[in-house]
Every structure is written in C-alpha cells, then in structure tokens.
Amino acid sequence: MEATREIYWNVGHGVVWPMYLFAIVAIGICAWGFWLRLPVYRLGKPLNRLDQLPRRVALMVRTMLSQSQVLRVLEPGCLHALFFWGFGLLFVGTLLIMAQADFSQPLLGVVFLKGAFYELYSLVLDVAGLAALLMLGGLLVRRFFGKPAGLETIRDDYVVHALLFAILMTGFVAEGVRMSASELALNPELARFSPVGKLVGQLFLGLSAAELSLAHKLLWWVHFILAMGFIAAIPFTKLRHIFATSANYLFADLGPKGGIVTINLEDESIEQFGAAKVADLTWKDIFDADACTSCKRCQDRCPAWNTEKPLSPMKVVQQIGEVAFGRPDASLCETVTEDVLWACTTCRACQEICPADIEHVNKIIEMRRNLTLMEGAFPGDEVRTAINNFEVNGNPFGLAYAARGDWSDGLPVQLMAQDPDVDILYFVGCYASFDKRNQDVAKNFVRICSAAGIRVGILGKEEKCCGEPPRKLGNEYLYQQMAQENIKIIKGYGVKKIVTSCPHCCNTLGRDYQDLGFDVPVEHYTTYIDRLLAEKRLTLKPEQFEFTYHDSCYVGRYLDIFEEPRKVLQAAGGRLTEMDKSGYDSFCCSAGGGRILAEEKLGSRINVARVGMAHATGAPLLVSNCPFCLTMFEDGIKTGGCEGELRVRDLAEIVAERLTI
C-alpha cells in the first residue's frame, strides 16, 4: 500500500473556502496589528538600516534559522531553539500540505506527499511536534516553577503558553484520532512513521467510526482556529517578537562596534541635542522595544544591576516602548530617571548578549546628551569639576597641561614637537600621563618598544584627553572640541600609526574620530606587543606565574581582542585561571561610560565585585590592560580586603619584566 494519506480526510474539501477565509482574516488581523504600530515607529527620527540589503537579509535568515544568538545562553537557549525548529517544521509541513492539496494537485495533478518522502515527512513532523511540545513544557517549568530571578511574567506569557500548548496538543490528538480511524488498521507500515500519532491513536481504538469522525472534525476545527488565533495574536502579544526580533536582525547596526552618532555642531538648525522625548530617538530605538523579548539576559549581565543600582538595560528599552506607545510627549529622562541613566558604564555586556540585537547603550547616551547638553546636568559635583578641568587643562584632574609629558623624562621617547620622525605615536592618555600607578605602565610600554627598536613619539603637552569620558557622559561639545584639537596636532605631524595603552583612547581615536575626518590607524598595545613577539622583534624569557585575566570592556567587547593578551601572558610564563565571567561575558570594572569621573553613590561597588571574582579564582595576580581597570582594581583590592592575597598588574609590566634585553 502506498505511503500517503488523503488530505482533508474526514473534513472534506468543503473546508477549503471557509479555511482560507479564516486564514485571510487572521493574516489580515496580524497585518493590521503591525500596521497600527507603524506610525509609532515613525515617531522616531529617520535612520537608514536597509543599506547593504543582501548582506542584511543573509544575516537575518542565518541568525533566525540558526538561533545562534538565542543559543548563547545554553539552557533557555536550547529550549527556545528546539521549540523554534520544531514549531517551524510543523509550519513548513502545513505549508507543504497546502501546496499539494490546494495548488499542485488540483492545478497540475502533482502529488508529492507520498512514498518515501511522505514517510520521512511524517516522521520529521511527528518528532518536531514532540520536540516542540517537550521544549514548551521545559520553558513552562522554567518560567512558572523555576522562576529565574528577574524574569517577569505577564498576561502574555500565560496566553502564549496556553495557546501554543493547545495548538500542539490538538494537533497530536487530531492526528491520533485520524490514525485510529485509518492508518492504524489500514496501513500499519505507514503508522510506524508517526510514532507519537500512533501512540495517541491507540488511545481511541475503542471508539466507533462515527465517534472518531465527529471527534476528528471537531479537533480539526479547534486546531485550525487556534492556529489562526495564533497568527492574529502575534502583533498584540509577546509573539510580536517572531517578526520584530527577526526584523531586528535585518536592521542590525553594521557599523563599527560602539559607533555613536556624531552631532554636526556646525548645523545651526538643530535645536534639540540628545533625546528628551521619543521623537528625538530613531525609529529603530522604538522598534527595539518591540524586538525585546524580556529575556533579561542584559539585566543579568549589567554591572549596575548586579550591584543594586536601579539600571536595567531591559527596563530602559521597555520604558522607551511604553512611552512611545502610551505617552509619546512624556519626558524620557524623567521616565527612565537620571539615576538610571548615569549608572551605565557603557560596558556593552547588554548589547553583546542580546538575542534580539537591541542597541541599549546609544539610547542611554542619547538621553545623557539631553541631560548634559540641554540641561547642563551632571551625575554629581565631582563630575562638574572634572568637566571644568577638561575644559581648562585637557585632563580630568585639573593638573597643569604643561606637565602632561613629564612622566617621560629620561626615557627613550621623542617629543613630536621636537622630532616627529617616529615609528609610532604613543597616545598616552590622561591616566598614564598623570597617575603615578599608570605612569609605570606607560614607562614599561616605552621600554618594550625600545627593546624592539621602535622609535616612539609622544605629543606631551600638546596631547589632550581623547574626549571619551565626556562623550560617553553625553557632552558631545566638549568631546568634539578636544578631539578636533588632537586631530589637528596629530595630522600636523603626519603620523602614520598610533598605539595607545588605553582602550578607551583606542576606540575613540580609531573609530569615533573617523567621523571627524581622522583616518590614522590606531592600535591597542596588546595586539601591538603580540605582533612584536610573533615577528620575533621582541623576545621574552618566561618566568612562571599564576594569574587571572580581566577582559576590559573596551579591549574585549568593543575591540574584540581576547586571544592576544592571553597569548602574550602565557608566552611570558603565565598560567591562566579564567574567571567565571570572561571574554564576551566579562564584568565591567565600573569606570566606563565616564563613570571614572563619578562617585558610585548607589548600591555596592562594582570594582569590589569584580575583584571578588578575581580573588575567587585563587590566582594571586589579576592582569588587566586598561588604565581605568587598573585604577579601579587597585582601589577594589583595598576596599574588598584582598590586600596581600591579590595584586593587580598591567600586561605591559609583566612583559617588560621578562624582556631579554
């Protein structure tokens, strides 16, 4: 007997018209639901996220089908992915039926759901349905019984769980009833390819043919109506994310990581700087709220949230959605609150993990811009002082700008003003220039370069803060002022290559300055040293040491430098014990986003929390490669009571100690 089945068995071909009518209505409601949301997205400012379309489409399809972003958190990720693939296969299976029954067969007389293909089809769909059901059960247990901290359950979650469960169950029962009345007796060979259906069908063997027929008709309709209900419900419930999150992959930011819109300060027509209302954000910022699935992965990783501060990146995104859809004229900064906005360290942990490609950080920066540029607000008086210091002396400490190069006295460093013929310009940054602890790092970096025969130049008193902390605090004006002055000086010397020891400087000079017409290649010293070692321009005599390595946010998540520092430190004789949170999952030191200038008034100390993680590895040494991190950890070790048990050192110090020259 051929392996196939009669489509519209029992319900008859008469259902086709009402079925399509319902389907059209359901799809119509779905479309209408999104149509209603369009004007709200349009409240936002224009932004082109449809350039490089083929690349975007490929990215979307790949990310959606592979579930790669979702799978980055294993347990719920697997549940979701398997459910997605299972449910997706069922959907595809349904489409195939439709294709044959309503198109290929009546129009062309082609029947493809037969034979071996039908057997495979049956098996795959049966297993897919089972997988979907089991995964849905897993998600349900996790949400309603496991109750992970921070996971908020709303009406939608009940609706969605109930709906999906009912669809899957009615599907299986309808199949079982059908098989009980047909395949189980007539084609047991084929029934083997629907193991779940067969199992369910055996439950109904006692029923009469008439009862089975009635039950099947009923179940078929219930299943169908539920499925249509599901489609109609998409825009009105969390199911929205099926489209919105997928679309967000299409709309992803393809620019360099951490890119911030550079405000055109020459444009006198601009009256509003930063985001006071949702209309000052882009449409994508509003759309992001729809793409958010409240998975709270961002919140789980947020250093502010984890140290009892009021900032949850998820809530910020959702609040933007609430304001956009509910009270579009409301003040964003008041809704989100200043405490929340100032708490962000721009560490990017939220954005990196987000399975929906939501861009959290720039929303916060846009709102900070409103606070800073429109209201002259600061997170505290200490920041006001620091900003004044930048304006006068180009550094946050208020130390004399003329003393900026003093640390290099007696070292093999050329002052660009005296001799600009150098291999690299070392952009020193404020901390390595003025802070004694970080001056050691600068000196060691110079020693390393000198050992490799590199001629190093510095700008000395002509260098100013790169502008990163003020920019991240929202002060675009001050940032551009300092940036323009740096650019003018550096360009004047015809510099070919810049190396920084501060990853914040590196990001700012290398990426942010591009918008201001600066294109000199910039590199962080970590990769630079790694290359000097690889090229054998530098050799080390390894000395054993135990250590743990802190991935600075701006070295790691921003610059994607993870391997090189580990390689260099291991080449120096280090034995690495990783912290729980490392790599892309690294935990901030507290000083990013301009927070280096601000007092941490709320919650517990982020730096102490991070030092605690390092301490927990048992390694006696914490190695970092960012001046902010080093400063924070020196403090955190003291505050956290780890003195004597844990030391923090910079990568350059470790390397310099092991130079063979």
Partner 1 sequence: MKILICVKQVPDMESRFKPDNAGVWFSDTDLAFRMNEYDEYAVEQAVQLREQLGDAADLTVLSIGPDRIVEALKKALAMGCDRAVHIQDPAAALKDPWQIAAIIAAFAKDKGFDLIFTGLQSQDRGSAQVGVTVAERLGFACTTTLVGFAFADGVITAKRELEGGVKGVVKLRTPALVTCQLGLNVPRYPTLPNIMKSKKKELVTIPVADLLHEEALAVTARFYPPAKKGGGIVLEGDVGDMAEKLIAILKEKTNVLR
Partner 2 sequence: MKALLICEYREGKLLDSSFELFGFAAQLGGETALLLVGAEAQLPAYGGPLYLADAAECGEYNPDLHKQLILQAVAKENPDYIVFVHSSYGWDLAPRVAARLKAAQVSEVIGLTDGGFEVGCCNAKMRRTVKPTTAQAVLTIQAGAFPAQQPGGTPQIQRLVAEGGNGMEFVGYEPAEAKDVDLTRAEVIVSAGRGVGKKENVPVIAALARALGGELGASRPVVDAGWVEHSHQVGTTGQTVSPKLYVACGISGAIQHLAGMKKADFIVAINKDKDAPIGEIADVLVVADVLQFVPALTAKVAR
> Is the Cβ of residue 430 or residue 520 nearer to partner 1 in the bound state?
430
Q: Toward partner 2, which CB reaches closer, 180 or 389?
A: 389
Token pair 């034995």 is at which residue? 575
As measured in angstroms, the least distance from the Cβ of 270 to partner 1 is 8
Looking at residues 415 to 474 of the shown chain, list those that interact with partner 1 (rule: CB under 8 A).
461
Q: Rounded CA gap, 261 and 44, in Å?
A: 15
Largest CA distance in the chain: 101
391 binds, among partner 1, partner 2, none (CB under 5 to 8 A by kind): partner 1
> What does 436 bind: partner 2, partner 1, none (CB cut-off 5 to 8 Å by kind)?
partner 2
Pairing of strands 545-549, 574-576: parallel
Q: Is 520:493 a contact under the CB 8 Å cutoff?
A: no
Q: How many CB atoms lie within 10 A of CB 203?
A: 12
661 binds partner 1 (CB under 8 A): no
Residue list 97-116, contact with partner 2 (CB under 8 A): none
Residues 399-438 as x/- pattern, contact with partner 2 by CB under 8 A:
x-------------------------------x--xxxxx
Instruction: State the first-to-last Cα distance of the chain, in angstroms, to the nearest integer.
Output: 84
Nearer to partner 2 among residue 220 and residue 390 (C-beta): 390
DSSP code, position 45: B
What size, in residues, is the chain?
661
Binding mask 334-373 for partner 1 (x = CB under 8 A): --------------------------------------xx
Task: Using the Cα atoms of residue 535, residue 538, residue 543 and residue 549 in order, give the sign of their dihedral.
Answer: negative
Task: Return the amino acid letter for 468.
Answer: E
Helix (H) / strand (E) containing 145: none
- Residues between 381 and 400 with contacts to partner 1, criterion CB under 8 A: 384, 387-388, 391-394, 398-400
Q: List binders of partner 2 among 334-393 (CB under 8 A).
A: 380, 382, 385-386
CB of residue 590 to partner 2, shortest distance in Å: 11
Contact partners, residue 418, CB within 8 Å, separation at least 6:
none
Contact region for partner 2 (CB under 8 A) — 196-204, 263-271, 411-419, 594-602? Answer: 594-602
Contact status: 656 vs partner 2 (CB under 8 A): no
Quickly count: other Cβ atoms within 10 Å of residue 98's Cβ.
16
Angle between helices 627-639 and 606-616 (to 10 degrees): 80
Helices (H), 104-182: 115-140, 155-181
The footprint of partner 1 on this chain (CB under 8 A) covers a number of residues equal to: 26
642-to-448, 551, 586 alpha-carbon distances in Å: 30, 20, 20
Residue 189 binding: pick among partner 2, partner 1, none (C-beta 5-8 Å cut-off by kind): none
| Residues of this chain, 263-282, that bind partner 1 according to CB under 8 A | 265, 268, 271, 273
Dist CA 79 CA 138 (whole Å): 7
Rg (CA), the chain: 30
Distance between CA atoms of residues 401 and 229, nearest Å: 68
Binding mask 285-324 for partner 1 (x = CB under 8 A): ----------------------------------------
Closest CA to 3 of 198, 192, 207: 192
Q: Which does 392 bind (CB under 5 to 8 A by kind): partner 2, partner 1, none?
A: partner 1
Is residue 578 near partner 1 by the rule CB under 8 A? no
Handedness of CA 587, 573, 499, 415 (dihedral sign): positive
Residues 6+ apart with CB under 8 A from 355: 69, 70, 72, 73, 77, 245, 293, 295, 297
Least Å from the CB of residue 655 to partner 2: 23
Is there binding between residue 398 and partner 2 (CB under 8 A)?
yes
- 649 beta partners: 623
Among 193, 249, 251, 401, binds partner 1 (CB under 8 A): 401
Amino acid at 121: Y
Report the partner that residue 431 touches, choosing among partner 2, partner 1, none (CB closer than 5 to 8 A by kind): partner 2
Question: Are 546 and 617 in contact, with CB atoms under 8 Å apart?
Answer: no
User: Coil, strand, or helix at residue 623?
Assistant: strand
Site for partner 1 in 494-553 (CB under 8 A): none
> Of partner 1, partner 2, none, which one sits near residue 577, judging by CB under 5 to 8 A according to partner kind?
none
Under the criterion CB under 8 A, does residue 197 sit at the interface with partner 2? no
Task: List the one residue from 605, 613, 620, 657 that touches partner 2 (CB under 8 A).
Answer: 605
Q: Indicate the residue among 259 and 398 with the shorter CB distance to partner 2.
A: 398
Q: Which is nearer to partner 2, 381 or 580 (CB)?
A: 381
Residues 623-642 that bind partner 2 (CB under 8 A): 631, 634-635, 638-639, 641
Pick 178 or 649: Cβ nearer partner 2? 649
Look up residue 580 and give its DSSP letter: S
User: Which strands, in side-by-side order, build the sheet including 545-549?
Assistant: 574-576, 545-549, 621-624, 647-650
> Is residue 477 a contact point for partner 1 (CB under 8 A)?
yes
> Which pair of structure tokens corresponds to residue 165?
């469960």
* Binding region for partner 2 (CB under 8 A) out of 14-22, 25-33, 233-241, 596-604: 596-604
Does 61 help bind partner 1 (rule: CB under 8 A)? no
Q: Identify any residues that bridge with 542 across adjacent strands, giving them in sequence order.
A: none
Q: Name the binder of 268 from partner 1, partner 2, none, CB < 5-8 A by kind.
A: partner 1
> Which residues are CB-neighbours of 197 under 8 A, at least 6 positions away?
122, 126, 172, 175, 176, 178, 179, 183, 191
Asked if 478 touches partner 2 (CB under 8 A), the answer is no
User: To the nearest whole angstrom, how small is the minimum distance from the Cβ of residue 304 to partner 2?
Assistant: 16
Does position 479 interact with partner 1 (CB under 8 A)? The reply is no
Report the interface residues with partner 2, using CB under 8 A: 380, 382, 385-386, 396-399, 431, 434-438, 597-601, 605, 608, 631, 634-635, 638-639, 641, 643
Report the interface residues with partner 1, using CB under 8 A: 265, 268, 271, 273, 372-376, 378, 384, 387-388, 391-394, 398-403, 461, 476-477
